[in-house]
Structures are given as structure tokens and as C-alpha cells.
Amino acid sequence: GAGVSQSPSNKVTEKGKDVELRCDPISGHTALYWYRQSLGQGLEFLIYFQGNSAPDKSGLPSDRFSAERTGGSVSTLTIQRTQQEDSAVYLCASSPYGGRGLGYTFGSGTRLTVV
Amino acid sequence: GNSVTQMEGPVTLSEEAFLTINCTYTATGYPSLFWYVQYPGEGLQLLLKATKADDKGSNKGFEATYRKETTSFHLEKGSVQVSDSAVYFCALSEENTPLVFGKGTRLSVIA
């Protein structure tokens, strides 16, 4: 597609349930990023994939969060045993460069609400 | 670690007023600097960037100059419009590291 596609656009889940968020990057983009946007907290980096390299997981807030990227394309962010503080908008971005912040294209995000 | 600090909002201005949104950064090396904008109901978009000291990024009437001596990248526009109402994020990135964002500044422009 022409842009970064995220699904679902909205997700309401009960506390304690697991959720999976999907990101389809722009074809050919080697770098893929996940961010979390919470009210008053700006954009918080979660995880970064670059080509076939091991992902940079330094931003994941707890071991309940994990992500994978299959075949260098689609990525899934999984949150296990969701908590109310996980409620946020989860943004995915892809880039053809993988360095110095250039060429990022962001998706519209998944709004997660944990009740 | 690297960080970005930007002025807290919300900022409310009348149409045609002058806009400044302050942004300062902390970095271990020589980062590239960015301003992103998020219009209501839309995704995050790159507004402008500067990749080295003294560079000026500009777009849609907005400008920001990379000031290494003051570690700043303040966003300015001479005459804002209602359509500029949005949330603005300052960000930086060093080699092979993801973008680091500030907390965002909400701008409301009233007619």
C-alpha cells in the first residue's frame, strides 16, 4: 500500500486479556518502529527492527510486551495480561533508511483501551 | 541518554499572531533535529528537519534553526492560521537510533 497500515484502529479489551496489534509497513522499508502515545507523555519509543538485525527492545516497559517482525515486513506487537495503564495509542512507523531519523512514515495508530 | 524538552501547552493564539514553540535537547553526539505535527484526527507528519548545526528547516511558513551552542531548535511562524491548530512534537535522532520525541505542544488558533 501507499502508507503504513495499522489494525485494528480501535481496540477495547478487559484487564488481564492479551492483545495483538498489527503493522503493515511500506513495501521495501527496512526499518520498523513501535511507539506509544499516552496523554501528557508524548511519544515513547518501544522497539525498533532494522533488516535482519536483532531488534532494539530497550523501550519495552515490561516483559508483558513483545513484538516480532515476520519476513522483514509485517510486525505484531503483543501485550499480555493487559493493565489499565497500557491504555494508549500505539503508533507504528517505517523508514527506508534505519538511521538518523530520516524518512519515517507513521501509521494512524491503534487506540487501545483497557477496561 | 538523549532527550528533548519542549514548552508545555496548550498554546492559544489569535489568527495572524507570531508563534514560537521552544525546544531544547540533550544528546551525546551530533543529532538530526525534527519537528512533527499531528493535526486533529490525523497521523503524525514530518513538518521540517535540520541535520547539522546552523541549518534552517522550513515548511508551510514554519521555520526552525539548529543551534548547537544553545542546544535548541525552536519552531517559529510569523502569522498563524486556524488551520495550524495541531499538536507539535520536537524530536531528535543520532546515527542508527530511533527518534526521541518531546511531550508535544498543543496549539489552538482562534479566528
Residue A101 binned pLDDT confidence (cut-offs 50, 70, 90): confident
Which one, of B32, B41, B53, lies nearest residue B85 by Cα?
B41
Return averaged pLDDT per consecutive 10 residues of chain B, 111 residues in all: 91 97 94 94 92 95 97 98 97 88 95 95
pLDDT in tens, B60-88: 999 999 999 999 999 999 999 999 999 99
What are the residues of chain B with a beta carbon less than 8 Å away from any beta carbon of chain A?
Answer: 31-32, 34, 42-46, 49, 51, 89, 91-104
Angle among Cα B101, B30, B73 to the nearest 5 degrees reads 50
Residue A52 carries which side chain, given as an amino acid letter? Answer: N
Cα dihedral B51→B10→B28→A89 (10° resolution): -90
Which residue is listed with cell 507504528? A92
Check CB contact under 8 Å for A100 and B49.
no
Nearest beta carbon to residue B32 from set A41, A48, A101:
A101
Nearest Cβ partner for A109 among B43, B91, B96: B43
Asked if pLDDT for residue A1 goes beyond 70, the answer is: no
pLDDT above 90 for A53: no
Going through A4-108 in order, the beta strands assigned E by DSSP cover: 5-7, 10-13, 19-24, 31-38, 42-50, 65-69, 75-79, 88-95, 105-106
Q: What's the confidence (pLDDT) of residue A100?
A: 75
For residue B23, give the H/E element and its range. strand B23-26
Are B46 and A104 within 8 A, CB to CB? yes
* Amino acid at site B50: A
Confidence of residue A88 (pLDDT cuts 50, 70, 90): very high
Residue of B nearest to A39 (CA): B103
What is the rounded distance in angstroms from the CA atom of residue B79 to the CA atom of residue B61? 8
Burial of B20 (0-12, 13-18, 19+ CB in 10 A): exposed
Q: What percent of chain B has pLDDT over 70?
A: 100
